Structure formats: structure tokens, C-alpha cells
Chains A and B, each alone.
Chain A
């Protein structure tokens, strides 16, 4: 193209060059995620699972509570019982689909609540500093001193069995952990020069939190929370396994693992299925969390 043509069309004014705009932050994250096959595969598996358990009433071939004394412990691959049947003759595939609903629910709900409550408290502690920080963090430390599993078992034991109590105890376990991460992330961001520069230009606390703190701490706190989902699912299953979570005849992977325990020698594959579900789900959540962490780092 010729420069004379350009200058005549713009009446002597040079054309302003098109501004170079970089893709936004989330576009960049997505671009990096797309190049990460492991995270994509795990995310795909999780989405499929989520779809399957949500559509359980449509997909399940049988009634999850329909027992049959005559058809107990059918092996995997039996006609009409694709994944076999459990110790009370209930269809295994159906039980796994419905069980996934509870397992996911008990696994994710505490993390979501803890993300909200712990994230808020941690950010407040980190940003406020001083005695507010002292108060929040000292209380947190008391809870944090106990191992997660022990704390969950202790709280659940005290509250009694049941889905609600299991969620409550897991939430209480995760809140201090998220507070700690949120507090340390916020403290380190608060001390960065760009926050100092914002303070030095006269910005108020609310504006600084909204523009400079939140966008830079929510990502890391969120990634940490996603890494807790796998732990949460395993502990939730553990609680059910110990009789502290879901109660029979409810279908839940941890509880199913417990009730099928006696069949481990006669039908090992069948007995392992709920465990396999727990393992695959929590591993996928973990890998997705790792992938997300890497993708959210702009320097990658």
C-alpha cells in the first residue's frame, strides 16, 4: 500500500496506529490452560462426572434403594447389572451415580462455605494488620494445630452422624486453613510497592482493596480452595466410612466402600469401585487445581 493513497484519504492527517491491546487476564489464563492437556483431561473427566451425577435419575438403570436378597453381590459385567450389585442386591451403577451426588455435595459444600468465610476473615486480617490480625490469627492457630482428619472426626463425633453435621465439621476444618492462606497472601500483596504507591497517591482503603488487593489475592485463595476439594472428598468419605457421615440406606461412596468391605475377597473389583470413584475424582480436582495455579501465573 502506498503512503500517498493514505494521506489523500485522511485529508493530510496521518492515520493513528491501531492501539496494541493485550488480551485480558482471563483470556490469558484460558490460553495457557488450553496448552495443558493434563488439566484439560482432568477437567473433562470432572465435567462428565458432574453431568452424570446430575442426570442420575435419567441415566440410572434401576432404583437406588431397591434391594433384592436373591441378586446379592453380582460381579461386574452381569447382564442388567453392568457394574454388578451390592451386598443388598442393589444395582451398583445406580448406587454409584446417586452416591456421587452426595459425595460431591459433602465434598464441595464445605470448601465453598470455607472459601467465603475464611477468605473474608483472612483478607480482613491481612489488610487490617495490628490487633485485628492478632485476634483472628490466634484463634485460627488453635484450630490449625490439629490435623484435619482428627479435627473432622472429633467434631463429627461430638455433633453426631448425618450429612449436615459432616458438612459442618468439614467447614470448620477448612475455615482456618483458608484464613491462613488468605491472610498470608493479603499481607504479602499489601506490602508490595504498588499498594504503597496507591496509598501514596491518596487512595482510600476501600479503593485500594477493590482495585489492588482483591484482584490479586482472590485467584491464589481460590486455587488453594480448589486443592482442598480433593481432601474434603476423601475426609467426607472417611467420615461416612467410620459411620460419622451419611447413614444407610443413603448412597454415598465412602459409605458404600464400608458396606462392601466384607466382599473384598469374593468380589474385589466390585468392592473397589466406590474407592476408585473417590480416587479418580479427588485426583482430578487436585490436578485441575495445580493446572489452574500454573495458568493463573502471568509469567508463564
Chain B
């Protein structure tokens, strides 16, 4: 058996080969009971994530977009196994997590996360090097080796170890702190990194630097990214494929070029239309999205987007739209794309 120091110096080996998805999410669901009132009774459930399935390919960056509150962070916490799903499972490189599969500790080594709030993600009482060196020590490295490893990673994220290792988080800028969070996520040599709005709290100029750093690190360390953001431009810049979420469900899923060229789901089209654009040619015919998304406690029946959709018909209230083919490797949960669904714009019968 190799020493922990040797083990943590490179990622765990690929198991299923390049064609096997790194991560398969199957029917992932999280319902939060809404408690309150007398005797703390359950007064309903927040359907934060509802039957979400997707595959994450080795080496890709999958972007997840959607308005605030649509369940992006809950999805990432479920994948990180920071909370128990109501239903569904996560398969990592062909192995289930738990008894008979990958142990939780092995899984945690391979999947790490960067949070949005760079300040809240660092323990204010630890120095930078202690923060980064914490998880290798959890995995059995000596303090000295872990600190050495921390210095290597500080250098890798562009921070001079001599200058930053012994400082405290509150003394640094948001961009520097986020680099440290990235270093901490990398120190276990994971294969997958979940980035939950990693640049949303940063200035535009810093944002670009951090995004480019993420691209470089992905190359250098052979990583796969799950990149979450509500910013469509950032997702377009970063991602190979994009998953659009609406009110806990997958609305559309496909290659970034296809989606940004011609969105299949009316929600994606409205989102793309509502972003500021300098380019008059990119103006779309759809009106921008108005109003707030409905309450996830009592989401609309059938298609959850129908209350804000221009193409909504009676059938949309009755049928939950399946993810239908909308192009190559491109699917949308809209009855318009579902042949024989009964929607006036859909093809009458399955081809």
C-alpha cells in the first residue's frame, strides 16, 4: 500500500475508461419539509430539486444555469453528499457511493467544491496554509507534508506562498480568497470540482482572471468541472455543455453552441434574451422574462414554466413534459418538442 503522501500527489486512477461518464446523476430529488406554526407541523414541502438526471463526461465542463432559487446549490450539495437526497442516486465513474461501492472517504477525495462566498468558505481563525493543509491531514498526511503541499498549490493558483501562507482570510481580497478556495479544492487531487457560482461575488476584472485560472488548472490537473452560475455569459465562456434548470427541474440540456445559437426551451430563449447585449443582430423575437419564478412549495402542475410561457396551452397544465430530443445531444423538457404531445406546435406523431 502506497503512503498517503504518494497517494495524494496524483489523482485516483480512471476506472471505467474515457467513454464512461465521470458522474451520473439519476433521478436526484430533494424536498425540504416546510415546518412552522403550532407544534412545528410540516406545512408543505419545498421541491428544491425534482427528478434531475444527467451525465457528466470525463474532462468536460458542464455548466448549470438558472435563476436564483432554482435548486443549483442544492444539486451541488447533493452531489457532494453534504445532504441526503429524498430520492435518486449519484454514480461516480461507474461505482455507487456507499456500501458495496466507493467508500465515502474515497468519494470525497475525488469530488471537491468551491463555494460562492469566498469569505464564508474560509475558517477565519486558520491561516491560509492551515486552511489548505487541513484536508490532506484528514486523509493521513503529516502536518509538514500537508503544509508543503499547500505551498505548492498556492503557487499553482498564482499566489506567492512566502507572501500569503501565513496570512488570515480577512486580510485578503475577494479574488485572492477565491484563489485560495480553489487551491483547497485541488489539494486532494480530485477528479471532479463543483464550482458553485465561484465568480458571482467578484468584480468583473477579477472575474476574468479567476475564470482563466480555472481553465488553466483544468488543463494542468486533468479535471472535470461542474460549473454553476446564473450568469449566461460566464457559462457560455466556460462550458462545453449546458444544463438549464427551472424550479428544481431540468428544462434543457445540450451543447453550448447549440443552446446559445437556438434555444429549444422557451425558458432558455427568454433567459438568453434578457441578458444585456451589445450586438443588435443577437436580438431575439421572444420578449424578456418577466416576473419572479413561482413558489417551489406549490409549483405549477404539468410544465412548471407554463405560468410564464408564451406558448402555454391547456395541455401544458396536464402533462409533465419529458426531456425530448431537440437536436443532436440536445434535449428540452417542452411539449413543443415532444411529438404527439397534443401541443398545437408539436409534431402530431412520433417520427
Contacts and interface: CB of A to CB of B under 8 A. Distances in A.
Nearest to A19: B162
Contact of A20 (B121, B163, B181): B163
Choose among A193, A196, A198, A212 the residue with the greatest number of B CB atoms under 10 Å from its CB.
Answer: A193
Given A22-B167, A216-B124, A201 B115 contact: no
A17 B162 contact: yes
Contacts of A21: 166-167
Contact of B109 (A197, A202, A211): A202
B138 A202 contact: yes
Contact of B123 (A20, A207, A216): A216
Contacts, number: 90
Contacts of B247: none
A194 B120 contact: yes
A18 interface: yes
A199 interface: yes
B134 interface: yes
B162 A18 contact: yes
B8 to A, nearest CB: 11
A281 to B, nearest CB: 32
Nearest to B115: A193
Given A22-B171, A202-B138, A197 B113 contact: yes
Nearest to B129: A19
B108 A193 contact: no
A189 to B, nearest CB: 9
B53 interface: no
Interface string B142-168: 000000000000000000111111111
Interface string A17-31: 111111001000000
Interface string B59-92: 0000000000000000001001110000000000
Given A193-B115, A202-B135, A19 B121 contact: no
Choose among A18, A192, A197, A298 the residue with the greatest number of B CB atoms under 10 Å from its CB.
Answer: A197
Interface string A283-300: 000000000000000110
A64 B23 CA distance: 80
A192 B117 CA distance: 10
A18 B162 CA distance: 7
A201 B123 contact: no
B123 A211 contact: yes
B149 to A, nearest CB: 13
B284 interface: no
B184 interface: yes
B124 A193 contact: no
Interface in A249-300: 298-299
A130 interface: no
A212 B123 contact: yes
B102 to A, nearest CB: 12
A201 B188 contact: yes
Interface in A103-142: none
B168 A298 contact: yes
Given A202-B138, A211-B134, A197 B167 contact: no
A201 B108 CA distance: 5
A215 B125 contact: yes
B60 to A, nearest CB: 22
Contacts of B164: 20
A19 B124 CA distance: 20
Given A202-B108, A202-B138, A194 B122 contact: yes
Contacts of B108: 200-202
Contacts of A203: 134-135, 138
A16 interface: yes
Interface in A15-59: 16-22, 25
B284 to A, nearest CB: 37
Contacts of A25: 125, 168
Contact of B166 (A22, A207, A212): A22
A192 B123 CA distance: 9
Contacts of B236: none
Contacts of A18: 162
Interface string A200-232: 111110010001100110000000000000000
B165 A200 contact: no
Contact of A298 (B115, B160, B170): B170
Contact of B138 (A193, A207, A299): A207
Interface string B97-113: 00000001100110111
Contacts of B104: 202
A77 B167 CA distance: 57
A200 B121 CA distance: 12
A21 B120 CA distance: 22
A299 B170 CA distance: 7
Interface in B122-138: 122-127, 131, 134-135, 138
A168 B29 CA distance: 51
Given A201-B108, A202-B105, A196 B115 contact: yes
B14 to A, nearest CB: 21
Interface of A: 16-22, 25, 192-194, 196-204, 207, 211-212, 215-216, 298-299
Given A20-B167, A202-B135, 12 more contacts: A19-B162, A192-B121, A193-B121, A194-B123, A197-B115, A199-B82, A201-B138, A203-B138, A204-B138, A207-B138, A211-B123, A299-B170
Give 3 nearest A-B pairs by CB, closest first.
A201-B135, A21-B166, A193-B121
Interface of B: 77, 80-82, 104-105, 108-109, 111-113, 115, 117, 120-127, 131, 134-135, 138-139, 160-168, 170-171, 181, 184, 188
7 contacts: A192-B121, A196-B77, A197-B115, A197-B121, A202-B104, A202-B135, A298-B124
